[in-house]
Amino acid sequence: MKKYTYLFTLLILGLLIVGCSDLEEDARSQLEPNERRTDLETIETTVAGAYGHLSARAFVSRGLGLTLMLRSDMVDIGNPTTASERIEHDQFTVSATNPLILNPSNPERSFWPRLYQVVRGANETLRELEALEGQDAGVTAEIAGRARFIRGFAYYHLVRLFGDVPYLDETTATVDASVSPRTDVETVYQNIIADFKFAKESLPSTRIDRSLPGKSAAGAFLASVYLTRGEYQLAYDEATDIINNAGAYDLALESDYRNIFHAVNTDGSSEPIFVIDFVGTNTNDEDRDYLAAFTGFFGQATYYPSGGWSVMVPAQAVFDTWDDGDYRKEVNFDAEALDNSGNLIPYTNYSSLDGRNANRPHISKYTAMAGDLPQANTSGRDSHSNYQMMRYAEVLLIAAEAAIEIGRTSEADGWINMIRERARNGNGTTDPSTSPEDISGATVADVLEERRLELAFEHKRWYDIVRRQMGDQVFGPNGFETELQGTRNFDPSRDYLLPIPPLEITNNPNLTQNPGY
Domain boundaries of the chain, sorted by first residue: 1-201+480-517, 204-271+392-450, 292-368
- Kind of pairing between the strands at 272-277 and 386-391: antiparallel
**Ordered per-residue pLDDT tens for the chain, 517 residues:** 333 344 543 444 443 333 332 222 233 344 454 555 689 999 999 999 999 999 999 999 999 999 999 999 999 999 999 999 999 999 999 999 999 999 999 998 999 999 999 999 999 999 999 999 878 889 999 999 999 999 999 999 999 999 999 999 999 987 778 899 999 999 999 999 999 999 999 999 999 999 999 999 999 999 999 999 999 999 999 999 999 999 999 999 999 999 999 999 999 999 999 999 887 666 667 778 899 999 999 998 888 888 899 999 999 999 999 999 999 999 999 999 999 899 999 999 999 999 999 999 999 999 999 888 876 567 878 778 899 999 999 999 999 999 999 999 999 999 999 999 999 999 988 889 999 999 999 999 999 999 999 999 999 999 999 999 999 999 998 899 877 655 678 999 999 999 999 999 999 989 999 999 9
pLDDT at 283: 64
| DSSP 8-state class, residue 58 | I
Quickly name the fold that domain 1-201+480-517 has.
1.25.40
| DSSP 8-state class, residue 508 | -
**Would you list the DSSP string of 122-147?**
HHHHHHHHHH--S--HHHHHHHHHHH
- Whether the domain at 1-201+480-517 and the domain at 204-271+392-450 fall into the same CATH topology: yes
Non-local CB neighbours of 137 within 8 Å, separated by 6+ positions? none
Please check whether residue 353 is in contact with residue 297, taking contact to mean a CB–CB distance below 8 angstroms. Answer: yes
Q: What is the 3-state secondary structure (H, E, C) of 353-416?
A: CCCCCCCCCEECHHHHHHHCCCCCCCCCCCCCCEEEEEEHHHHHHHHHHHHHHCCCHHHHHHHH
Report the candidate in 117, 109, 118 with the shortest Cα–Cα distance to residue 65. Answer: 109
pTM of this prediction exceeds 0.85? yes
For residue 24, give the amino acid letter: E
| DSSP 8-state class, residue 484 | G
Residue 355 CB neighbour total at 10 angstroms: 10
**Would you list the DSSP string of 253-312?**
--SSGGGGG-TTGGGG-S-EEEEEE----TT-GGG---HHHHHS-TT--SSSSS-----E
Scanning 17-133, the segments in alpha helix (DSSP H) are: 40-52, 63-70, 84-91, 111-131
pLDDT at 28: 36
Please check whether residue 20 is in contact with residue 92, taking contact to mean a CB–CB distance below 8 angstroms. Answer: no
CATH 1.10.287 fits 204-271+392-450, yes or no: no
- In angstroms, the Cα distances linking 232 to 225, 341, 437, 464, 503 are 10, 54, 26, 15, 38
pLDDT at 13: 41
- In angstroms, the Cα distances linking 465 to 89, 164, 251, 469 are 15, 19, 28, 6
Q: What angle do CA 35, 41, 44 make, to 5 degrees?
A: 100
CA atoms within a 13 Å half-sphere pointing along the CA-CB vector of 34: 1
Non-local CB neighbours of 3 within 8 Å, separated by 6+ positions? none
Report the candidate in 99, 92, 123, 126 with the shortest Cα–Cα distance to residue 113. Answer: 99
| DSSP 8-state class, residue 434 | S
